[in-house]
Amino acid sequence: MINEVFSFIQKKITLKMAQDLRHVFIRHSSTDEIQVVFIGKNEKNIVSLSDQLKNTFANITSIVFNYNTRNDNVILGDTYKVLYGNDYIIEECLGNKVKLHFKAFFQVNPKQMEVLYSQAIKAANLTGNETCIDMYAGTGTIGMAVSQHAKSVIGVEIVKEAVDNANDNTKMNHLDHCHYICQDATDFAHDHKEDKIDVIFIDPPRKGMTENGIKDTITMHPDKIVYVSCNPKTLSRDLKIFKEYGYQCEYVQPVDMFCQTIGLECVAKLTKIV
């Protein structure tokens, strides 16, 4: 479906439209909703193309223009305008509906994402009495899935739109014991270092964690850490640093997220060294 929408754009876009654009990104959710985001400096010439898209594809529910006039390789700018529908689409993950803002991260393979997060929950070995932290929480997919097996979940995320999405998602799924806050991870860790935290779930970007980020995580003295990684190289590096600070890796479970490629996600279970 993404290819069909992109092919349509390629056929209909004019040179005048293209001159104002830097990127186009397209999402197709497992609920069959499509989102198109145009990224550039001016939306005026894109409005007619937006109208053609919504009139051609009935399942397009979101068309957004994101303003980016920066002189670097950052893809998304700070401000945007909704040209049609909403600034989000609806996804699903492990029985939960997810309102997905176009700025929010989401795995591109929904079926294997459920396998990945199920492995993360399995690694935590939850009994239903735990207090869990979902660091780098995004739109809350991991935390919401975990909340079905734990006493409470607090999600931490620095991107405000993602936090707003996450809290909307918990309300939409009636998860009263799961909530998200917009805060820097370092500040959160120091604010909660005296709390009793049972399990911390971390899902950092490809570059992995900084040593300060690892220190922040262990500041809260969790019994267990479940590390979800999209880069085995940085995971290996980070596990060595965790060990220096008193947490050993019990096992690593790979998950083939991108079949027939070298892309690999991993779930690592860490526990305190006693």
Binding-site residue numbers for S-adenosyl-L-methionine are 107, 136, 157, 203
Q: Is 266 labeled as catalytic in the residue annotation?
A: no
Catalytic residue among 230, 249, 259, 266: 230
Written as six digits, the tokens of 56 are 């051609």
Hey, what amino acid is at 183? Q
What is residue 187's DSSP assignment?
Answer: H
Return d(Cα 175, Cα 152) in angstroms, integer.
10
**58 exposed, middle or buried (CB, 10 Å; 0-12, 13-18, 19+)?**
exposed
Written as six digits, the tokens of 123 are 């690694």
Answer whether 26's CB lies under 8 Å from 35's CB: yes
Q: How far is CA 185 from CA 104, 130, 136, 157, 217, in A?
A: 17, 20, 8, 7, 8
Name the residues annotated as catalytic: 230
